[in-house]
Structure 1
């Protein structure tokens, strides 16, 4: 087992509320994250709610372990051989928002890079989608 940590930020002209709306509506995740096919949730976007993302054809369970409406959330995936934690945060800027992800993986050494390789692309797509939604 190895510990892996990854962080990435993107800025967008969209307000934090526009990004938050996309995060909280898990049905939109497949629209801006190319590896996600679908997301189902067992309840509201709140602490303790579990869900399943279908990523590259495989179901991946997750649980919301922290939710701060409008500011960020953390979800965790527990697999037999790994624990993955995804922290999502929003920071107001003078003109727009900084979107920040921090991902930690406690598991096989090659899992971390495989999980995070498309993170910058997904974050850029999220920023663009939020910008488009905030103009509409």
Structure 2
């Protein structure tokens, strides 16, 4: 397995962050590598969506572990590499602040080697996108 994680803290409420997460059509507002995102159905476990990222063809993902105001993971299966890429998002209360965690894990045969190759490309924008997420949440409160 290969893993990456980034954490930030904000005074924005978990609900404000969650509202931005579940409005998938606006993911490109806080993650500038996303060109567009669509979800078939509600923002719940098992829903399937499509994500188009800069310089990539559209990818299909499935929402897993959706817990309102707390967490969700979007999971992509890359059959040609025989791997699963999970983008996880957690919201926790931390004293008087909200702790936000975004991470990426790659699993499957040779996940460590594949992660070492593609992981930096998948994760390079995460700190910046989280800063934008927090800024946007603050603007909507």
TM-score normalised by length of structure 1: 0.91
Aligned partner of 1:96 in structure 2 is 97
Out of 105-114 and 36-45, give the one that drifted further.
105-114
Q: Which deviates further from its counterpart, 51-60 or 116-125?
A: 51-60
RMSD: 1.2
- Number of matched residues? 132
Gaps of 5+ in 1: none
Checking the alignment, whether the CA contact within 8 Å between 1:12 and 1:128 is kept in structure 2 is no
**1:46 shift after superposition:** 0.4
Shift of 1:122: 0.6
> Residue by residue, what CA displacement relative to the aligned partner does 1:51-93 show, whole Å, maximum 9, x if unpaired?
0111014212110011001111111100121210111110113
Worse overlay, 73-82 or 29-38: 73-82
2:137 to 117, 130, 133: 130
The whole-number CA distance in structure 1 between the counterparts of 2:85 and 2:44 is 19
CA offset digits 1:84-128 (Å, max 9, x no partner): 011111011333311111210134231111101111011111011
Decide which structure has greater strand share. 1
Structure 2: gaps of 5 or more residues:
none
CA distance in 2, matches of 1:48, 1:7: 24
Tell me which residue corresponds to 2:124.
117
Encode CA deviations 1:19-52: one digit per residue, 9 max, x unaligned: 0000011011000101001111111000100101
Do residues 40 (structure 1) and 38 (structure 2) align?
yes
Between 84-93 and 21-30, the greater mean CA deviation after superposition: 84-93
Secondary structure, aligned partner of 1:34? coil
